[in-house]
Structure 1
C-alpha cells in the first residue's frame, strides 16, 4: 500500500476514533467552509470519448442536483474536469494540475486503466482518494487501500464469465483473444489465460494491437485460419467495430464477446449492422427507458434537456458515481476528512442501481462495489439483455 503524505496522515490520525476537530478539517485539501473541490480526468475528445463525455455529463447532472438543493452540509461540490484524451502524458499533466493547482479533495470517474493507474501514482502520496474510476481493472483497487474505490466486477471476472458461458453453450474447445496492448488489455489477458487454463481450453490465437489501430485484416485472417471457436475481446470502441466487422466480412461466424468498455450506443449502431450479433459481458446494464419506471423516465428527460442528447450507459454510470459521492459526503458529516469519507463509503453496504443493473456494495474489506454481470448482444442496432445474472 502506498503511503500518505505527512500532512494527510496527520489529518487521518486526528480523526481515528474521534470526531474530527476544526483544525484537522482545516488540513484537509480541497475542503473549505463552503466548498468541496472534486476532480476528474476524462476522455472528451480521444478514442474513448464516446464513453468519457457522457460519463462527465451524468456526473455533473447529479452534482448540479445536489448543489441546487443546497449542497452537502452547507458546502457546494466544485467539479473540475480535465480532458486527457486517453493519453498517459496528458493524464499525468492533468492530474498534477488538479492536485497542485486546483487542490482537489478527491478524484472521481477517471477514465481508463493506464491513465487511472498513472494518476494514482500522483494521488496516493498526497492522500487524495480515487473514487469509482471508469475502469474495471483489479489493479486500481487491489491491494486494499483506504484511498481506492471501484464500482465494477473486474475485467478478469468479466473474461471468466464470458468463457464459462459460451463454452457451456457451444462446447467450444479452441479459443482466441484479441486485446489492446496496454494495462487494460493485460487485465483482460490475465483473466482469459487463467480461466482458459482452469477449463482445459486450447488457446489457438492471441493477438494485440494499439488502441489507435484501424486495419484488422491481418488479425481477422489469422483468427479465421486458427480454428478458433470463440473469440474474446479486450478492445475499446472503434477497434471493436473494425475487428468485428472485418471478421464477419470474411465469413467467420463464431461467437465474439467483449467486455464493458465498448458498451456504448455508437458500437451497437455502427454502420449498416456492422456489429450485429456481437456479445458483451458487463457489470452494469444500459437502462430501459420504455419500461415506465418513474426515475428513469425523468432522468432521460432531464438529461436530454440539459445536454441535447439521449442518455448513454456511461452517462448513467457517471450519475451513479455522483450519487454515491453525495451519499458518502452526507454520511461523512460536516467534519469532512479522507478518513470520514472512507468510512462513509464503506458503510454503503447495498446500493440499488436506479438504472436496473446489478447493485453495488462496499465494506471495510471490499472496495470494489460490483455484485454481478449481465450478458448483452447487439440486435437491430441496439443492446439487448441476453442474461441478467451471468455467473463468473
Structure 2
C-alpha cells in the first residue's frame, strides 16, 4: 500500500502549462548543469558540528557511488561531478550553500541533501528554478508532499515510523501513557505528529509533549516533566547527542520508561558513543545497520571498498548517501543522453521494486507517488543490546 494518490493532469496539459508558465510552476524549459562531458550535481551536508556524524559518512557514500559510476564510463557518455557544501545543520548556512550550488555552480539537481530544517530552506529555491530535489536525507513528509514533479523522497516518513512504533508498544507492551521529546523544528514535529495521530487512533490519552532547541545539551526539565506525568513510552525526536543526553538524564533520576527513537537516531554512534547509557533503546529504520561480521559477502566487499577509499568504517549513514546516488544514477541512465529535469523525473517514476544489496526496504515510484518505500509497511524496530542494534520486528500500522 503506497502512501497516497494525487489528481493526475494529462501530460499534454502539463507540457503546455510548462512551456507557457515555466518559471511560476518550477519546471525549467532549459536545464543547467548539463555539459557535453559531464553532469554537475550538488548536495549540502553538515560536514561540521554535531550532526557531522551523519553528514560526513553520507557524503562519503555519495562520493563512492559517483566514483563507481564514473569508473564504468559515467552516464550516457557523461561523467558525474558532485559538489558538496557544508551546512553545519544551520538554516542560514544551508541558504548560503544552496544559493552557491544553484546559482554559481548551476547544478542540475540537489541530491541527498541532509536535514529537515535545512531542506526546508533550499528545496523551495531549487524547485522554483526547475532544479530536481531528490532523495534528501531526511524522512520528513515535506520531502515528497505536497506533490511536485521535481521532488522525490527516499525514506519511510518519521510520522509513519512513529505510528508503527506506538502501535507495536501499545499492542505488545500494554503502554497507555505516551510522551514525545522532540527537537523544536520541522523534523521534531514530524515525529510528534506521528505519535499524536496513532495515540488518537487507538483511543489513548493525549500525548505529553516537551521540546528542545537544536543544539541543546540539558534535558533535565523535559525528562522531569515526562516522569512526573507518568509517561511509559518516550518517543524521541532526537538525533545523536540529544538521544544519549536525554537517556543519561533519565537514568540519573531513576526514570526508566521505554525509549524509542526515529531513524534519525537509529545509528551506530548512539551505541558506540553512549558507553552503555542507551542500553535497551529502541529505534526505527528501513535498513539494517551493516556489521561486518554479520554481513553478506557482497556487503563485506562493499564495506572493504569503502574503507579503502575513506580510511573509515562504513556505517548506516554511508548507505543512505550511497543508495541515494545509486538510484539517481540509475534514473539518469534511464533518461537517456538528451536529458532534462522533467525527463529524469519521469525516469525516477518508472523505477519499480528497486532492492539494494543491504536488505533495506524496496523502492517503487509512479507518476502519482514520489515516495520510494511503502510508508506504512517499510519500517523495522531495532533495539540496543550490548554493543549492537538488534532486529526486534517488522512494524506497521
Q: TM-score band (shorter)?
A: over 0.9
- Out of 237, 241, 249, the residue aligned to residue 238 of structure 1 is 241
Q: Does 1:379 align with 2:385?
A: yes
- Out of 247, 250, 255, the residue aligned to residue 250 of structure 2 is 247
- Per the TM alignment, residue 287 of structure 1 is displaced from its structure 2 partner at its CA by 2.5
CA distance in 2, matches of 1:261, 1:383: 14
Where does residue 50 of structure 1 map in the other structure?
Answer: 53
CA distance in 1, matches of 2:288, 2:128: 35
CA distance in 2, matches of 1:180, 1:32: 41
CA distance in 1, matches of 2:216, 2:24: 44
CA distance in 1, matches of 2:295, 2:270: 26
Higher mean Cα deviation, 84-93 or 186-195? 186-195
- Per the TM alignment, residue 292 of structure 1 is displaced from its structure 2 partner at its CA by 5.2
Where does residue 266 of structure 1 map in the other structure?
Answer: 269
CA distance in 2, matches of 1:281, 1:226: 25
- Per the TM alignment, residue 229 of structure 1 is displaced from its structure 2 partner at its CA by 1.2
Secondary structure of 1:45 counterpart: coil
Structure 2: runs of 5+ lacking an equivalent: 1-5, 7-17
CA distance in 2, matches of 1:318, 1:9: 26
Where does residue 22 of structure 1 map in the other structure?
Answer: none
Are the structure 2 counterparts of residues 191 and 4 from structure 1 closer, same or farther at C-alpha, using a change threshold of 3 Å? farther
CA distance in 2, matches of 1:254, 1:209: 19
Aligned residues of 1:50 and 1:264 also touching (Cα < 8 A): no
Aligned residues of 1:152 and 1:369 also touching (Cα < 8 A): yes
Secondary structure of 1:5 counterpart: helix
C-alpha RMSD over aligned residues: 1.8
Secondary structure of 1:359 counterpart: coil
Secondary structure of 2:206 counterpart: strand
Aligned residues of 2:268 and 2:289 also touching (Cα < 8 A): no
Where does residue 116 of structure 1 map in the other structure?
Answer: 119
CA distance in 1, matches of 2:379, 2:159: 12
Where does residue 230 of structure 2 map in the other structure?
Answer: 227
Q: Does 1:324 align with 2:342?
A: no
Where does residue 390 of structure 1 map in the other structure?
Answer: 395
Where does residue 42 of structure 2 map in the other structure?
Answer: 39
- Per the TM alignment, residue 205 of structure 1 is displaced from its structure 2 partner at its CA by 2.4
Where does residue 23 of structure 2 map in the other structure?
Answer: 5
Where does residue 23 of structure 1 map in the other structure?
Answer: none
Where does residue 63 of structure 1 map in the other structure?
Answer: 66
CA distance in 1, matches of 2:276, 2:197: 33
Are the structure 2 counterparts of residues 197 and 335 from structure 1 closer, same or farther at C-alpha, using a change threshold of 3 Å? same
Structure 1: runs of 5+ lacking an equivalent: 12-26
- Per the TM alignment, residue 201 of structure 1 is displaced from its structure 2 partner at its CA by 1.3
Secondary structure of 1:232 counterpart: strand
Q: Does 1:152 align with 2:176?
A: no
CA distance in 2, matches of 1:9, 1:146: 8
TM-score, structure 1 length as denominator? 0.92
Are the structure 2 counterparts of residues 10 and 223 from structure 1 closer, same or farther at C-alpha, using a change threshold of 3 Å? closer
Moved over 6 A (4+): none
Secondary structure of 1:208 counterpart: strand
Where does residue 17 of structure 1 map in the other structure?
Answer: none
- Out of 147, 165, 169, the residue aligned to residue 166 of structure 1 is 169
